[in-house]
């Protein structure tokens, strides 16, 4: 049985917090493959400065190109309607019926996981793998939260790691103001943003 990780997000833009998370969980769990899935955001949802799926997909390919075993997929972008993780995992479970699936996330996602659509089914389809993204989301807080999900039959793996506190929202704001974000973004992503004139004011 192989180990396949799934890592979804808006990635608007993909940043070093995403990359550090991915490197930590790959080091800890030795996946055979990790599939990164930029999510589709429906047209009626207003997200300040949301880039096209194509740009977000291209930036993920650039940012993760040097991590062995990572594949960036446009599967969620090709679906209609909202990207619900349960639908993605149902699909990939049918693609990989004999493998063990892992769903990778930052701590903000784990802490709101009980509000997700069909979260109990997600727990049956995949083990959750979580890394803290903020100093206040300590390993002990996450472990106690994991216990409540395990009581519902899930498996939750907390990978202890020093948080890298950055968000795409913060970076969109800085980029809009023309501030330098090169310490938070992969250099190829910086080049892509510049070459395509993205995240500019107005
Ligand atoms: P936004 O600010 O636009 O909401 P974001 O920075 O939270 O974006 P997403 O693309 O929504 O990024 O996140 C995708 C996944 O990566 C989520 O599971 C999220 O918890 C995780 N993640 C995002 N930033 C970090 C970080 N700095 N450290 C660890 N995990 C992170």
Please report, for the domain that includes residue 123, its CATH number: 3.40.50.620
Residue 202 confidence (pLDDT): 56
Residue 197 lies in a domain: no
pLDDT at 47: 65
Q: Which two tokens stand for residue 151?
A: 């009581």
Asked whether 131 lines ligand 1 (CB < 6 A), one says yes
Q: Tell me the pTM.
A: 0.96
Over range 157-167, report the average pLDDT.
Answer: 96
Q: Which residue has the tokens 């993780």?
A: 85
> Ligand 1 centroid vs 18 CA: distance in angstroms?
6
Within a domain: residue 173? no
Mutate to test the pocket of ligand 1, among 13, 106, 129 (most ligand atoms within 8 A of CB): 106
Position 186 in a domain:
no
Domain assignment of residue 177, yes or no: no
Beta bridge partners of 34: 5, 70
Query: Is 86 buried (19+), middle (13-18) or exposed (0-12) by CB count in 10 A?
Result: middle
Domain span holding position 33: 3-164
| Ligand 1 close to Cβ of residue 18 (< 6 A) | yes
Give dist(CA 59, CA 172) in Å, integer: 14
The structural domain count of the chain equals 1
Asked if the structure places residue 169 within a domain, the reply is no
| Ligand 1 contacts CB of residue 38 (under 6 A) | no
Q: What is the pLDDT of residues 40-73, one digit of tens each?
A: 975 555 566 779 999 999 999 999 999 999 999 9
Residue 7's nearest CA partner among 29, 40, 38, 28 is 38
* DSSP letter string, 31-87: -SEEEEEEPP--TTS--TTPPPHHHHHHHHHHHHTTSTTEEE--TTTTSSS---HHH
Q: Average pLDDT for residues 145-159, to the nearest whole number?
A: 96
**167 CA to middle of ligand 1, Å?**
6
Query: Residue 178: inside a domain, yes or no?
Result: no
Instruction: Dump pLDDT digits (tens) for 86-98.
Output: 999 999 999 999 9
Which residue would you say has higher pLDDT here, 200 or 32?
32
Distances (CA, A) of 77 to 1, 53, 54, 128, 137: 28, 6, 9, 22, 30
Residues 6+ apart with CB under 8 A from 6: 34, 35, 37, 88, 89, 92, 101, 102, 103, 104, 126
Residue 188 inside a domain? The answer is: no
Query: Average pLDDT of 108-125?
Result: 96
Position 194 confidence tier, pLDDT thresholds 50, 70, 90: very high
Q: What percent of the chain has pLDDT over 70?
A: 95
Asked, for residue 202, whether it belongs to a domain, the answer is no
């Amino acid at each position: 049985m192989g180990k396949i990780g799934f890592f979804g997000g808006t990635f608007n833009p993909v940043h070093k917090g995403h990359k550090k998370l991915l490197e930590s969980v790959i080091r800890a769990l030795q996946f055979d493959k990790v599939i990164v899935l930029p999510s589709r955001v429906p047209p009626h949802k207003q997200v300040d400065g949301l880039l096209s799926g194509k740009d977000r997909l291209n930036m993920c390919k650039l940012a993760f190109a040097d991590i062995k075993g990572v594949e960036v997929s446009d599967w969620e972008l090709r679906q209609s309607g909202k990207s619900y993780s349960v639908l993605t995992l149902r699909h990939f479970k049918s693609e990989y019926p004999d493998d063990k699936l892992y769903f990778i996330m930052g701590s903000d996602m784990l802490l709101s996981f009980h509000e997700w659509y069909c979260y109990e089914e997600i727990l049956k389809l995949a083990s959750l793998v979580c890394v803290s993204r903020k100093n206040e989301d300590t390993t002990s807080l996450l472990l106690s939260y994991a216990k409540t999900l395990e009581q519902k039959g899930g498996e939750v793996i907390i990978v202890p790691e020093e948080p890298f506190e950055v968000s795409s929202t913060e970076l969109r704001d800085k980029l809009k103001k023309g501030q330098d974000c090169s310490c938070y973004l992969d250099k190829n992503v910086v080049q892509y943003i510049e070459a395509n004139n993205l995240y500019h004011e107005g």
